[in-house]
Amino acid sequence: MTDSTAGMTPEEARRADEAHTGPMLAADGTPLKKSLARALRRQKLRALGLIAPLLVFVLITFVVPIGDMLLRSIKNDIVADTLPATVETLADWDADASELPGDDVWMAFYVDMWFAAERKEHTRLGSRLNYEQTGVSSLFRKTGRRVDRFDTDVYTDQLVDLDPSWEDPASWAAMLDGPAADALPLTAETWERWKEFNVEEGDAVLEEDVPDFLFTTLYYELNNGAEVDGMSDRLDAAKAAVGEFETVSLQEQFADADEDWLDPEVWKTIQLYSPRVTSGYFANSVDMQLTPEGIEPRPDNQQIYGILFKRTLFMSLVITGSCIMLAYPVAWLLSNLPMRTANLLMILVLLPFWTSLLVRTSAWKVMLQQQGVINDVLVWLGLVADDARLTMINNQFGTIVAMTHILLPFMILPMYSVMSTIPPSYLRAAKSLGATNWTAFWRVYFPQSVPGIGAGSILVFILAIGYYITPEIVGGNTGTFISNRIAYHISSSLNWGLAAALGTILLVVVLVLYWAYDKIVGIDNVKLG
């Protein structure tokens, strides 16, 4: 230290020295600090490039599907997309009243149903609403076949009789491109939808016949006082004459198609599930239901998902416990036998992996049935009477036995990998100090094997809670899991929103249990050897 740096801290001295002599330089003449930062940045980019394919793979195959599942559990676009005008007008309807919606709703619904039927979207909409109210699916299918044959052509005939130019699509285009569009908003909007529909079909709108529903919307707005005075002679004549027109009740037309349209509950269901985001799927997944008054419990005879969730958690814990009890002695034996013998026995542990899961499950179905191998042996030994054979299949017992056998290797392997690293000298040292065999095992050996138990338990529990093939085959009505219901809604009922909500709840339950395990045991203590 020179006189000029006396009394300074080491950091101050270093800075003073750099200011006097300049920063240290690398071989290429750049400051050493800058050169080191550049080299470190290159190493990070190289490491990122090496793991980038794995990150992209995880993002595409894991993160994106989970995000899509979470989105489907609340997404509800089909009602608003299929019945846009109906949803808008129905928003003002009082669902608490016992009266049916007004004429504006029937008018909008007529137009929406025509387009939905032409696009074959009414069946999908009916299937969606049928999840909430039984019978709505057939209601939409029947109406979709009839809506194009409603008696609304009376408005077409009467307007054409007033002025034949109403049949010309070009006259409609000219009229609705001007100020009449503001005076006749429903007709203008319907005309735009008609043009878009023709573009989708590859047709020229000016070459197509003007549909009856356009004449119907025009009559409806003129009859309800649309301000079209002085816009054109045709509109003036039409407005003056509509009061004398022969009319058709759209409500009666829909009632002729199906009387259920006169049930206010149908309209309540449409209004209730018209928002694009809904909590209805989650309400159904916890045995609740969405009503105009809010979320309410379902009747007792319809509450099934709570039972399934409890059964899934309980049986998964039982399966995990049975795997621990069976796997621990096997893993201990493998880790303490000579290597040659242990490797031969390990083949028996891995052998189930070389057999189809369906074959193993079907084998248990054969063995556990009342006329199966196990019952025949028990009868032969005299332990069970021939007319009192045990019922071990299509129940929880059969599911536990079959899944324990299938998941047992996933418990043995982590335990074995951890136990094989425990030095035998620890037990000998404990015994030489006076410990009994039990004390040496419980105080010395067992604590060191806990990480293997933890790793195997997490693996087996997570696999068990999501299993559905084995419970479906051997579980019957009392041995199935919530995953079986999720698979049913995905493949059979096609209620993907409810399946996504059930899957989301199952994911949250697993994450909560994982968090609890980390707090109680510590995830850092989990080892695979």
What gap in Å lies between CA 186 and CA 182, rounded to an integer?
9
User: Which residues are within 8 A (CB) of 400 and not within 5 positions of it... i.e. 6 or more apart?
Assistant: 315, 318, 319, 322
**Beta carbons of 14 and 22 less than 8 angstroms apart:** no
Alpha carbon of 221 to those of 23, 109, 183, 256: distances in Å?
Answer: 84, 15, 9, 24
What gap in Å lies between CA 373 and CA 295, rounded to an integer?
51
Interval 315-337 mean pLDDT: 93
What is 120-186 written as a DSSP string? T-HHHHHHHHHTTSTTHHHHHHHHHHHGGG-TTHHHHHHHHHH-GGGG-HHHHHHHHTTTHHHH-HH
pLDDT in tens, 359-385: 888 889 888 888 888 888 888 888 888
pLDDT in tens, 211-246: 999 999 999 998 888 887 777 888 888 888 888 889
What gap in Å lies between CA 72 and CA 79, rounded to an integer?
14
Interval 133-158 mean pLDDT: 92
Interval 289-293 mean pLDDT: 82
**522 has pLDDT over 80:** no
Q: Which residues pair with 215 in a beta bridge?
A: none
What gap in Å lies between CA 254 and CA 117, rounded to an integer?
14
Q: Which residue has the tokens 């559905």?
A: 468
Q: Which domains does the chain have, with CATH numbers?
A: 3-72 (no CATH), 82-149+250-278 (no CATH), 153-244 (no CATH), 307-525 (1.10.3720.10)
**278 has pLDDT over 70:** yes
Tell me what percent of the residues of the chain surpass a pLDDT of 90.
36
**279 has pLDDT over 70:** yes
pLDDT bucket at 142, cuts 50 / 70 / 90? very high
**127 has pLDDT over 50:** yes
pLDDT in tens, 478-520: 888 999 999 999 888 888 999 999 999 998 988 888 888 777 7
SS3 261: helix
pLDDT in tens, 45-97: 888 888 888 888 888 888 888 888 889 899 999 999 999 999 999 988 887 77
**136 has pLDDT over 50:** yes
Q: So what's the pLDDT on residue 529?
A: 47
Q: So what's the pLDDT on residue 20?
A: 53
What gap in Å lies between CA 478 and CA 48, rounded to an integer?
50
User: Which residues are within 8 A (CB) of 514 and not within 5 positions of it... i.e. 6 or more apart?
Assistant: 458, 523
- Taking each helix axis from N to C end, the angle separating 305-336 and 482-491, rounded to the nearest 10 degrees, works out to 120
**Beta carbons of 333 and 396 less than 8 angstroms apart:** no
- Could you count the other beta carbons within 10 Å of the beta carbon of residue 457? 22
Q: Which residue has the tokens 């319907």?
A: 190
Degrees, nearest 5: CA angle 161-166-168: 130
pLDDT in tens, 166-194: 888 888 888 888 778 888 899 999 999 99
pLDDT in tens, 12-39: 655 655 555 556 665 666 776 777 778 8
Distance of alpha carbon 399 from the chain centroid: 26
What is the chain's mean pLDDT, rounded? 86
- Could you count the other beta carbons within 10 Å of the beta carbon of residue 230? 9
**314 has pLDDT over 90:** yes
Q: So what's the pLDDT on residue 121?
A: 93
The number of C-alpha atoms within 13 Å of 35 and in the hemisphere containing its C-beta is 10
Q: So what's the pLDDT on residue 270?
A: 93
User: Which residues are within 8 A (CB) of 100 and not within 5 positions of it... i.e. 6 or more apart?
Assistant: 251, 262, 264, 267
First-residue to last-residue Cα distance in the chain: 53
User: Which residues are within 8 A (CB) of 478 and not within 5 positions of it... i.e. 6 or more apart?
Assistant: 311, 394, 395, 396
Alpha carbon of 153 to those of 26, 378, 443: distances in Å?
Answer: 90, 79, 91
Q: Which of 111, 250, 248, 285 is nearest to 191 (CA)?
A: 111
SS3 278: coil
Quote the pTM value: 0.80
SS3 296: strand
